[in-house]
Homo-oligomer: A and B are copies of this chain.
């Protein structure tokens, strides 16, 4: 079974690499995709490509839309969307992706520390699995790929 899995959310730790390593070690037929994780490039792409803005709002607006060209395409192509919430930042884009994926009928896996259970209860309620670690995400991918 070939699976395409989009890894949404936190971009400040190595969790995507952890999952990639686990998937490779298990020899799974899983394609991992995700957003541009270069924070600076992601913030500045609008101004750099389309020209500078004086107002921060429009700078952010242009950048967010260019990034959406990528994320909308990859979420639409995914079988499963994994959304990880870390312990820093607002991470509203992660929750937005979770809602977006849920409404498209994508299967959702959420991964976060149990300390975040209460504020994430609506997101978790839409998920097929709520993991505490990236390793558990890998274990799920391995399990649903096994042939009997």
Contact between A64 and B136 (Cβ–Cβ < 8 Å)? no
Bound Cα distance from A124 to B57, whole angstroms: 9
**A123's contact among B3, B72, B96, B125, by CB below 8 Å, is which?**
B96
Contact between B125 and A68 (Cβ–Cβ < 8 Å)? yes
Contact between B74 and A121 (Cβ–Cβ < 8 Å)? no
Q: Give chain A interface residues in 92-114, CB to chain B under 8 Å.
A: 92-105, 107, 109, 114
Closest-CB distance, A135 to chain B (whole angstroms): 9
Q: Give chain A interface residues in 66-102, CB to chain B under 8 Å.
A: 66-70, 72-74, 79-80, 85, 89-102
**A65's contact among B41, B69, B91, B125, by CB below 8 Å, is which?**
B125
Bound Cα distance from A65 to B108, whole angstroms: 10
Contact between B100 and A69 (Cβ–Cβ < 8 Å)? no
Contact between B143 and A66 (Cβ–Cβ < 8 Å)? yes
Across the A-B interface, give the 5 residue pairs with the lowest CB-CB distance, nearest first. A99-B99, A103-B103, A64-B125, A95-B95, A99-B100
A to B CB contacts below 8 Å, 22 in the list: A1-B73, A3-B73, A36-B144, A49-B129, A50-B132, A50-B136, A54-B54, A56-B117, A56-B118, A58-B58, A60-B121, A65-B129, A68-B126, A73-B144, A90-B119, A91-B119, A92-B119, A94-B95, A96-B122, A96-B126, A99-B100, A101-B103
